[in-house]
Amino acid sequence: MCLISQRNLWIQFCEWMQSVVAPKLREGKFQYHSANLNLYIYPDALVEDYLKLCPLDHTWMGLSHAVREKLNAEFQIPEKLRLLPGKLIYFSLGFFGSSVVELMKRLISILSKSKHRFIIAKDTFVPQVEILPLVDLVITHGGNNSLLETLYFAKPLIILPLAYDQHDNAQRIVEKRIGLKFNPFTVGDGELLHAIDELLMDSEMLTRVKKISEEMHQSESMDHVVDRIVEIAENPTLPPLREQISSK
């Protein structure tokens, strides 16, 4: 197996960027820093203590969420599934996670022993934002979109992180006591099944999740960002990238 270090990967990426006449990146960074506006998308309740530790400058703004409108208001749970006993749980490991066949088989085998009902997303499109309001619990890989959409619809969650931001998101929900996390490759049958039943009965956790959901729904962050973009369009900082300014 050929492994490449992050440093070497960054060097190769920089060389490619320079080949297309793009500005030089900051050391170890894979994206640029705008001199006008930089955005992060994360609920205030989950990011507030981060900002105390790592304050951001005036070029940064946060969106509480970017949940899209429903695509199919007529979506309904199939009757055969709707009539079965038990709570309804949505399980998705995202496009890449669902393509790991042995992992999916392992986890579905565990879930098949539960007394509850499941909607399982495979490697095809699933109308997630239409499904989430209808379920009682979400089991997810913890990608940022899935995390935000789950919280927006006030559902407690179990995160089975695979890579990247998923590990940070999993740790965040544990710290905020709005869900649980497990290693998808090693979690045991009893461990996962017990966690499902525990979360479904945890009224205090559900109250915390609902509070975050209400804050996301009431957020005016999108309006503030739109206003800022209009201001920038009328009076931009040039050159537009910090890297271009620092290279002069």
What does the pLDDT average to over 78-82? 89
Whether the CB-CB separation of 143 and 94 falls below 8 Å is answered with yes
| Residue in this structure with the two tokens 């969650």, named with its chain if needed | 157
Instruction: Give the contacts of 95 (CB within 8 A, at least 6 positions apart).
Output: 123
Return d(Cα 148, Cα 212) in angstroms, integer: 10
Position 62 pLDDT exceeds 90: yes
Per-residue pLDDT tens over the stretch 145-200:
999 999 999 999 999 999 889 999 999 999 999 999 999 999 999 999 999 999 99
What does the pLDDT average to over 87-97? 93
Transcribe 150-177 into DSSP letters.
HHHTT--EEE---STHHHHHHHHHHHTT
Look at 28 and 181; give whichever has higher pLDDT: 181
Q: 40: number of CA atoms within 13 Å, CB side? A: 15
Return d(Cα 30, Cα 25) in angstroms, integer: 7
> How much is the pLDDT for 18?
87
Region 79-218: CATH code: 3.40.50.2000
Position 230 pLDDT exceeds 60: yes
Position 84 pLDDT exceeds 60: yes
Position 51 pLDDT exceeds 70: yes
Q: Rounded mean pLDDT of the chain?
A: 90
**Burial environment of residue 64 by CB neighbours within 10 A (0 to 12, 13 to 18, 19 or more):** buried
Nearest to 171 by CA among 202, 147, 199, 137: 147
Element containing residue 213 per DSSP (H, E): helix 203-218
Nearest to 195 by CA among 91, 104, 124: 91
Position 248 pLDDT exceeds 70: no
> Which residues, listed in sequence order, are joined to residue 120 by a DSSP beta bridge?
91
Strands 117-120 and 88-92: parallel
> How much is the pLDDT for 133?
92
Return d(Cα 182, Cα 173) in angstroms, integer: 12
Q: Which amino acid is at 109?
A: S
The answer, as to whether pTM is greater than 0.85, is: yes
